[in-house]
Amino acid sequence: MIHFFKQKPYLCDLIPSNYVDIHSHLLPGIDDGAVTLNDTENLIMGLKEMGFSKFITTPHIMSDVWKNTTTSINEKLSTTVNELKVPNIDSHLKAAAEYMIDAEFRELIKNEKLLTLKENYVLVEVSYLSPPIQLHDILYELQNCGYQPILAHPERYSFYHHSMQEYKRLKNIGCLFQLNLLSATGYYGSHVAKVSNSLLKEGLIDFVGSDVHHNRHLEALQKKIILKDYEYLSPIFQNNYFFNF
C-alpha cells in the first residue's frame, strides 16, 4: 500500500495578515536580544517580510541579570522609534516586558505597576532549571493584584515534559500559555517540538510569539514546521489579534 504524506508548510505560510507578535527582544542593548539599532532594524524588516505586522517587544526584567524597569524600557522604546528608519514603525512597535518569576518578583508586584502586553495581561517566565517552589501561590497573588499571567514558552520547561497534568494544573489556576514559534520549526530540538505538539492538541496554548533575539532565530523562523499536527497552530495565530493596537 502506498501512503501519501502531506508535506508540512513553511511557518510563514501560516502567518495571517496583520499578525501581532507579542514576544520578542527587539530593543537594542537592553537585554540578550538585539545589540545595536542596526540589529533591531534587520530583525524587524526580516519579520515583516515573513508577514509579521505589529510588534509588542518584551525585554527581560530579571533580578541580578537584566535590571530593566518600566521607565527604562519606555525610554529605550522612544529612542529606538525615533532613530529607526522603518516606515510607520511608531504605530507598529510598542513595548511590554517579560518578567522572570524570581526572588524579587513578589515585591515588584506589590510596589510597581507592571508593564503589560495589553490591559492586565502580563508575560512571565520561570527558570529553565526548576520552577519556583511557591509558583502557584505567586500566580494566585499576581491575579489577586488584578493581572492575567501569560506563561512564556511553557514547552521549553523540561521539568514539566513528562507530566501533562502539571501543565493542566497551571491552566486550571488561571495561567495562560504562549508558545514560541521557534519550537514549531525545531529550533530547540525534536523533544520540545513534540511537547509543543501535545500542548496544542490538548488545547492548552492560547497565544504564539516569535521570541526572536537575533539573526539565528530569524533564520529558524523561515524554516518548515516540523510539528506532526501543525493544523492546531493556525487558529492560535488568530488569538493574537486580541493584542492589536
Evaluate whether residue 3 is within a structural domain.
no
Question: Could you list the residue range(s) of the whole structural domain that residue 203 is in?
Answer: 11-243
Q: Which residues of the chain have pLDDT under 50?
A: 1-4
Residue 5 pLDDT: 56
Evaluate whether residue 1 is within a structural domain.
no
Evaluate whether residue 4 is within a structural domain.
no
Looking up residue 228, the CATH number of its domain turns out to be 3.20.20.140
Q: Which residues contact 137 (CB under 8 A, 6 or more apart)?
A: none
Residue 50 pLDDT: 95
Evaluate whether residue 232 is within a structural domain.
yes
Domains held by the chain: number: 1
Q: Which residues contact 178 (CB under 8 A, 6 or more apart)?
A: 22, 23, 123, 150, 151, 152, 153, 154, 205, 206, 207, 208, 209
Q: Whole-prediction pTM value?
A: 0.95
The rounded distance, in Å, linking the Cα atoms of 187 and 217 is 8
The rounded distance, in Å, linking the Cα atoms of 174 and 171 is 5
Residue 1 pLDDT: 41
Evaluate whether residue 58 is within a structural domain.
yes
> Exposed (0-12), middle (13-18) or buried (19+): which is 61, by Cβ within 10 Å?
buried
Q: What's phi and psi for 152, nearest 5 deg? A: -75, 140
Closest CA to 136 of 108, 161, 167: 167
Residue 3 pLDDT: 42
Evaluate whether residue 199 is within a structural domain.
yes
Evaluate whether residue 229 is within a structural domain.
yes
Evaluate whether residue 189 is within a structural domain.
yes
The rounded distance, in Å, linking the Cα atoms of 89 and 93 is 6
